[in-house]
Amino acid sequence: MVSPSPNTLHTAYDSKIEGNVIVTRVDAAINWMRKNSLWPMPMGLACCAIELMATASSRFDISRFGMEVMRFSPRQADVLIVSGTVTYKMALVVKRIWDQMPEPKWCVAMGACASSGGMYRSYAVLQGIDSLIPVDVYISGCPPRPEALIEGLMQLQKKIEGEESTMAQKKVFFEDRS
Amino acid sequence: MAAADDVKQLREGFGAKILETVEFRGEQTLRVELGALHDVLAKCRKELGYEMILDISSLDHFGDDPRFEMVYELATVNDSKHLRVKAMVGEEESVPTATDIWPGADWHEREVYDMMGIRFSGHPNLKRILMWEGYPFYPLRKDFPLAGRPTEMPDLPSTGVAPLEGGPFVTCAGGEDTVRREPRARVQD
C-alpha cells in the first residue's frame, strides 16, 4: 500500500521539474554569466600596472568577482584594462590588441594617464585612450588604489547587467523567430 | 689624476684640433674640432683605455652658429677615469659615428638623431628609436613646443597639440615663496 505523497496536494506544482527551472530573460541570464567571469587583458604600461597586480593578488583578490583569469592573449580576454601611460608609439599596439579581442568586449581606462594623458601633457603621449578605443569605465587616481580598480570593475559589472547586447547582436535571429 | 694625464697626452697628440680643455671639480672636459672627433674618440678607446661609452647626448644652442653640440661621456670599466668630449656641430653637418669604436654607441646615436635631428655618417641603422617611424619633427630642439605639433599618424586620427592648461610642473622664476614659484597650474600667456 502506497501512502499518498504530500506533493499530490499541490497538483499544479511539480517540485522535481519546476524547482530546477528559473524563468528569466535571455539577456539577463547571459549578462549574469558574462559579468561574473570577466577575463581581463592586463595592458600594463606604467605604475598603474603595479596596482593592477596588487588587485589580482591575495590581499585584494579580484577572484572574488570572477576576474582573476588574467589572459595575456587578447583573443581570450573580455575586458581590456589599460593601466598606464599610452604613448603615441604604444597607441597602435593598444589599438591592435583591442581589435584582436573578440566581442563582447569592454575597456577600462585605469588611472589619470589612460583616461586623459594625466600629467604627461606632451608631444609623446596620447591624451586619453578614448580618442583611440571606446572606454566603458574611467578610474581616477594616479595610480588608483586597488579598491578603486575593484570599484571600477564593479561599475562595469553593473553596466553589463543593464546591457541588451544579445538583443542587439542577434537581432536578425530574434526577428526570424517572432 | 689619471684623466688629467690623458688630457695632456691628447693635447700633445692633436695640438690645435683640441680647442679647449676644462677641469671642473676633477671632471675633465675636452672640446675638439668636429673633424678630429672620431680620431680623438678612437685614441681614447684604443690607447687610453676608455672601454665604455656611458652616454652620448647633444645640446641645442638655438640661435648660435654652429647650432648643436655633441657630448660624449667616456669611462673606464673599473670606473677610475672619466672623460667628457664635446664637439660643436652645424645644422647641415653630420657627425662621424662612434659605433665602430664602441658598439654601444648605436642606440645613443639613434636617440640623438631621433630627438635632435643630428645625422651620423657611417651609422649602420640610423632610424628613430623613441618616436614612431615617419614622425616629421625633432622634439628636443629648442624651437619645438612641449605640447607638440599636429601630425598625421597612420591608423590614428591625428596627434594633436596636448592641452597644457597651465601645465603641471610649471615654475615661475622670482616668486616670493614656494607657492608662488611653483603653482599647481598657471594661466598661459
Do A126 and B159 count as a contact with CB atoms less than 8 A apart? yes
pLDDT at A29: 86
Mean pLDDT across the stretch B77-95? 91
* Same domain flag for B116 and B168: no
In tens, the pLDDT along A18-55 reads 667 778 888 888 888 888 999 999 998 999 999 999 99
Interface pTM (ipTM) of the complex?
A: 0.73
* Same domain flag for B23 and B58: yes
Cα dihedral across residues B152, B155, B158, B162: positive or negative = negative
β B119-121/B94-96 pair status: parallel
Paired residues of A125 in beta bridges: A87
Burial grade of B76 (CB within 10 A; 0-12, 13-18, 19 or more): middle
**How far apart are the C-alpha atoms of A141 and A153, rounded to whole Å?**
15
**Vertex B54, ends B53 and B59: CA angle to 5°?**
100
Q: Which residue of B has its CA nearest to A96?
A: B155
* Same domain flag for B138 and B158: no
Cβ contacts of A119 on chain B, cutoff 8 Å: 168-169
In tens, the pLDDT along A86-133 reads 988 888 889 999 999 988 889 999 999 999 888 888 888 888 898 889
Mean pLDDT across the stretch B147-162? 72
In tens, the pLDDT along A134-175 reads 999 999 999 999 999 999 999 999 998 888 867 777 777 878
* Residue range of the domain that includes B171: 152-189
Averaged confidence pLDDT in chain B: 85
Type of residue found at B171: T
Reply yes or no on whether the pLDDT at B48 is more than 60: yes
Do B148 and A124 count as a contact with CB atoms less than 8 A apart? yes
Share of chain B above pLDDT 90, in %: 43
Cβ contacts of B130 on chain A, cutoff 8 Å: 89, 124
B170 against B93, higher pLDDT: B93
Residues 6+ apart with CB under 8 A from A2: none
C-alpha cell at A96: 591592435
* Same domain flag for B51 and B89: yes
**How far apart are the C-alpha atoms of B8 and B15, rounded to whole Å?**
10
* Same domain flag for B31 and B61: yes
The answer to whether residues B19 and B75 touch, using CB atoms and an 8 Å cutoff, is no
**How far apart are the C-alpha atoms of B172 and B101, rounded to whole Å?**
44
Domain holding B78: CATH number?
Answer: 3.30.460.80
* Same domain flag for B110 and B181: no
**How far apart are the C-alpha atoms of A63 and A33, rounded to whole Å?**
15
Cβ contacts of B144 on chain A, cutoff 8 Å: 123
* Same domain flag for B135 and B175: no
* Same domain flag for B37 and B117: yes
pLDDT at B73: 94
* Same domain flag for B135 and B100: yes
Reply yes or no on whether the pLDDT at A82 is more than 80: yes
- Integer CA distances (angstroms), A73 to A42, A82, A92, A108, in order: 10, 14, 17, 17
Burial grade of A48 (CB within 10 A; 0-12, 13-18, 19 or more): buried
β B18-24/B27-32 pair status: antiparallel
C-alpha cell at B151: 601630425
pLDDT at A149: 93
N-term to C-term CA, chain B: 51
Domain count, chain B: 2
Candidates B159, B161, B170, B184: best to mutate against A (most CBs of A within 10 A) is B159
The answer to whether residues B158 and B151 touch, using CB atoms and an 8 Å cutoff, is yes
Q: Which of A2, A8, A72 is nearest to A43 (CA)?
A: A72
On the CB side of A69, how many CA atoms lie within 13 Å of its CA?
A: 11
pLDDT at B98: 92
- Integer CA distances (angstroms), B182 to B143, B165, B167, B170, B172, in order: 24, 15, 11, 6, 6
Reply yes or no on whether the pLDDT at B56 is more than 90: yes
Domains of chain A, each with CATH number or no CATH: 35-162 (3.40.50.12280)
Reply yes or no on whether the pLDDT at A72 is more than 80: yes
Q: How far is CA A106 from the centre of its chain?
A: 6
* Same domain flag for B140 and B157: no
Q: Give the closest of B145, B149, B153 to A88, CB-based.
A: B153
B159 against A109, higher pLDDT: A109
Cβ contacts of A123 on chain B, cutoff 8 Å: 137, 139, 144-149, 159, 162
C-alpha cell at A110: 585605469
If you search the block for the grid coordinates 671642473, which residue do you land on? B24
Query: Helix axis angle, A26-35 relative to A146-161, nearest 10°?
Result: 160
Q: Does B1 touch chain A (CB under 8 A)?
A: no
pLDDT at A18: 66
* Same domain flag for B36 and B99: yes
The answer to whether residues A59 and A42 touch, using CB atoms and an 8 Å cutoff, is no
Residues 6+ apart with CB under 8 A from B63: none
- DSSP string covering A32-47: HHHHTS--EEEEE-ST
* Same domain flag for B37 and B99: yes
pLDDT at B144: 85
